[in-house]
Amino acid sequence: MMNLSRSVALISLFLLPLLSFSFSVDNPTDRRVLVLLDDLSLKSSHSIFFSTLKSRGFDLDFKLADDSKLALQRYGQYLYDGLIIFAPSTERFGGALDSKSIADFVDSGRDLILSADTSASDLIRGIALECGVDFDEDSSAMVIDHSSFSLSDGDHTLIAADDLVKSDVILGKTKIEAPVLFRGVAHSLNPTNNLVLKVLSASPSAYSANPSSKLSSPPQLTGSAISLVSVMQARNNARVVISGSLQLFSDRLFRSGVQKAGSPNKYEKSGNEQFATELSKWVFHERGHLKAGSLVHHRVGETDEPAIYRIKDDLEFSVEILEWSGRSWEPYVADDLQVQFYMMSPYVLKTLSTDKKGMFHTSFKVPDVYGVFQFKVEYEKLGYTTLSLSKQIPVRPYRHNEYERFIPTAYPYYGACFTTMAGFFVFSFVYLYHK
Amino acid sequence: MVKSTSKDAQDLFRSLHSAYSATPTNLKIIDMYVVFAVFTALIQVAYMALVGSFPFNSFLSGVLSCVGTAVLAVCLRIQVNKENKEFKDLAPELAFADFVLCNLVLHLVIINFLG
């Protein structure tokens, strides 16, 4: 009896680490998400967004942002796989949360949706800054656009934005027809940062200023440099969505119709619901998350992987890549995956062809250089996880008995040797028997 | 001045030629063999300059066979030349036998190194 309970305890101790992984390739379902709100009425005013998340199998845990019992980790294990912070005016989180613990949360590979609104506290700005996003310094500024606003609004702060990033992975295959309604603060991205991306940009006529006071100097953030919603995919493939408007996710804007000023098209429903749903699918890895199987390589005609190749060998290379579809691993289909045969610089660079069932393969000749090479697959496509695979393999030169028996370039030398021998023979005859 | 130097060159050449004609026939035969060997070596070097030294061992082997046999022939000429006081007591047959043996060893090595 004691032995049984002890072995059960031991087994569960081994299983415990598996239970609280982030998007781990072994356990991609059972997503627990902590939703931090600064006002519990957000639960009902944003109910459509939360119910779409729940219907996709997420376990939402609503808490006030200053709840003193907040914790992301317990005894070193993370309690949640995702975090949604809809608390733009919170100055300090309660419990064990602060901007450092949230940064650690993202560092562990977990996902985050962060939203500011017409007022963004320093705490929220700080978290966004960690992710590479700069909110406008003026705390009373909002995005104003005098030519791209929604006609239902009076003071031009409800923007009807349709400058979406062109990516089927991030925004789904169906085009979002209606403009997305936005009212909130502007942020900008550092152009040298290649991990952040503008998903919804403002139109060239937008600017960020206080709508209730007269402008004394030209606004700092203007035009398309203003990003309304941005995403960041970290190097460990954690995904972060940062939005300047909490109202973008609200039921009111989900349901409202939109007509952009200056455009004759009137849409019954804004693009907000589709936008928010598709974005949440991307940020929680239901799209665009790739997993690579092992790299397999062998000589043409063989099946085993050799320990060493010889120069000018013909070899075949294949790799299996799967994409998580939200429920299962599906084969990934693309025509731009490339493999390099690399030693300090790629000697061979080939595009892999796919059999549409997830296997990518190609074949090429080992170059005429010997050394220690690597098969490298470095894949960085917009919106997809980065794949960085490599496998080392040495390449040797010809053994001395692998050359042709008689080298054609050396025929004159062979001829010269035999001619000299013949000459010596003739010479000795002539020398001995001349008169 | 030019005329006298060219006349000098001509005189020099003629005297060399007449002196050379006086050498015994067997020495002339050895000289021809040396010229043939060196000529073959030069052809090989020109070929290597053209094509590159890829099977370097074959190149070395070819050139060395020519140069080696030329050197051995020169040694034979020195030993057989009656005007040479140093080898007065050496029988020419012995010199020739040495020449043949050394050439055999040389060609054995050459064929081995030819690859």
Between chains, do A414 and B114 touch, taking CB under 8 Å as contact? Answer: yes
| Cβ partners under 8 Å of residue A418, min gap 6 | none
Between chains, do B100 and A428 touch, taking CB under 8 Å as contact? Answer: yes
| Cβ partners under 8 Å of residue A282, min gap 6 | A169, A170, A171, A231, A239, A288, A383
Between chains, do B62 and A412 touch, taking CB under 8 Å as contact? Answer: yes
Residue type, B71: V
Q: Which of A99, A326, A109, A123 is nearest to A233 (CA)?
A: A109
Average pLDDT rounded to a whole number, residues A150-162: 82
For the stretch A162-167, contacts whose Cβ atoms lie closer than 8 Å and that sit 24 or more positions apart, written own/partner, are: A162/A260, A162/A271, A163/A200, A163/A201, A163/A202, A163/A203, A163/A224, A164/A199, A164/A200, A164/A275, A165/A197, A165/A198, A165/A199, A165/A200, A165/A201, A165/A382, A167/A382, A167/A383
Residue numbers of the domain that contains A416? 410-434
Question: Which of B40, B77, B112 to mutate against chain A (most A CBs within 10 Å)?
Answer: B40
CB contact B62 to A (< 8 Å):
yes
Between chains, do A413 and B37 touch, taking CB under 8 Å as contact? Answer: no
- What is the per-residue pLDDT for A22? 47
pLDDT tens, position by position, A375-409: 999 999 988 999 999 999 999 999 988 888 888 88
Give the DSSP per-residue string, A251-284: HHHHH--EEBTT---EESS-SHHHHHHHHHHHHT
Nearest CA in chain A to B99: A428
Q: Tell me if A5 is assigned to some domain.
A: no
Cβ atoms of residues A393 and A308 within 8 Å: yes
Q: Tell me if A388 is assigned to some domain.
A: yes
Q: How far does CA A59 lie from the centroid of its chain?
A: 24
- Two structure tokens written together for A129: 């800054």
Q: Are A388 and A307 found together in one domain?
A: yes
Q: Tell me if A146 is assigned to some domain.
A: yes
Q: How confident is the model at residue A337 (pLDDT cuts 50, 70, 90)?
A: very high
Q: Rounded to a whole number, what is the distance in Å from the CA of A414 to chain B's nearest CA?
A: 7
Residue type, A412: P
Q: Are A97 and A209 found together in one domain?
A: yes
Q: Are A227 and A317 found together in one domain?
A: no
- Two structure tokens written together for A417: 């040797």
Question: Could you say which of B26, B41, B52 has the minimum Cβ distance to residue A434?
Answer: B26
Residue type, B18: S
- Two structure tokens written together for A209: 């200023």
Global confidence as pTM: 0.72
Between chains, do A423 and B33 touch, taking CB under 8 Å as contact? Answer: yes
Between chains, do B69 and A417 touch, taking CB under 8 Å as contact? Answer: no
Between chains, do B55 and A409 touch, taking CB under 8 Å as contact? Answer: yes
Asked if pLDDT for residue A11 goes beyond 60, the answer is no
Q: Are A279 and A293 found together in one domain?
A: no
Average pLDDT rounded to a whole number, residues A326-351: 91
Cβ atoms of residues A339 and A376 within 8 Å: yes
Asked if pLDDT for residue A294 goes beyond 90, the answer is no
- What is the per-residue pLDDT for A15? 46
Cβ atoms of residues A92 and A41 within 8 Å: no
CB contact B37 to A (< 8 Å):
yes
Q: From its phi and psi, is residue A133 left (phi > 0), alpha (psi between -120 and 50) or beta?
A: beta
Q: What are phi and psi of A143, to 5 degrees?
A: -85, 125
Nearest CA in chain B to A420: B66
Share of chain B above pLDDT 70, in %: 97
Question: Which of B28, B30, B36, B42 to mutate against chain A (most A CBs within 10 Å)?
Answer: B36
Q: Tell me if A148 is assigned to some domain.
A: yes
Bridge partners for A60 per DSSP: A33
Between chains, do B25 and A434 touch, taking CB under 8 Å as contact? Answer: yes
**3-class state of residue A21 by DSSP:** coil
Average pLDDT rounded to a whole number, residues B83-100: 87
Alpha helical stretches, state H, A145-304: 168-171, 251-255, 272-283
Between chains, do A413 and B114 touch, taking CB under 8 Å as contact? Answer: yes
- The CATH number linked to A333 is 2.60.40.1930
Cβ atoms of residues A96 and A63 within 8 Å: no
Cβ atoms of residues A108 and A83 within 8 Å: no
Cβ atoms of residues B51 and A413 within 8 Å: no
Domain boundary among A284, A317, A334: A284
Between chains, do B25 and A424 touch, taking CB under 8 Å as contact? Answer: no
Q: Are A238 and A306 found together in one domain?
A: no
Q: Are A147 and A106 found together in one domain?
A: yes
Domain boundary among A250, A284, A318: A284
**Rounded mean pLDDT of chain A?**
87
- What is the per-residue pLDDT for A18? 40
Between chains, do A421 and B65 touch, taking CB under 8 Å as contact? Answer: yes
Q: Tell me if A251 is assigned to some domain.
A: yes
Global ipTM = 0.89
Domain boundary among A229, A252, A284: A284
Q: Are A318 and A386 found together in one domain?
A: yes
**Rounded mean pLDDT of chain B?**
89
Q: How many residues can be counted in chain B?
A: 115
CB contact B23 to A (< 8 Å):
no
Q: Rounded to a whole number, what is the distance in Å from the CA of A395 to chain B's nearest CA?
A: 21
CB contact B113 to A (< 8 Å):
no
Number of Cβ pairs closer than 8 Å across A and B?
Answer: 76
How do A289-299 and A159-161 pair as beta strands? unpaired
Q: Are A144 and A39 found together in one domain?
A: yes
Nearest CA in chain B to A407: B55
Q: Tell me if A380 is assigned to some domain.
A: yes
pLDDT tens, position by position, A276-293: 999 999 998 888 899 998
Half-sphere exposure of residue A381, counting CA atoms within 13 Å on the CB side?
20
Q: Tell me if A96 is assigned to some domain.
A: yes
Bridge partners for A197 per DSSP: A231
Asked if pLDDT for residue A250 goes beyond 80, the answer is yes
Burial of A142 (C-beta count, 10 Å sphere; 0-12/13-18/19+): buried
Q: Which of A379, A366, A230, A167 is nearest to A292 (CA)?
A: A379
- The CATH number linked to A38 is 3.40.50
Q: For chain A, how many structural domains are there in total?
A: 3
Q: Are A298 and A277 found together in one domain?
A: no
Q: Are A254 and A131 found together in one domain?
A: yes
Q: How confident is the model at residue A372 (pLDDT cuts 50, 70, 90)?
A: very high
Q: Tell me if A58 is assigned to some domain.
A: yes
Q: Are A425 and A360 found together in one domain?
A: no
- Between residues A38 and B102, the one the model is more confident about: B102
Chain B residues 71-110 within an 8 A CB cutoff of chain A: 73, 96, 100, 103, 107, 110
Q: How far is B39 from B42, CA to CA, in rounded Å?
A: 5
Q: How confident is the model at residue A17 (pLDDT cuts 50, 70, 90)?
A: very low
- Two structure tokens written together for A96: 């064990």
Q: Are A66 and A177 found together in one domain?
A: yes
Between chains, do B47 and A412 touch, taking CB under 8 Å as contact? Answer: yes
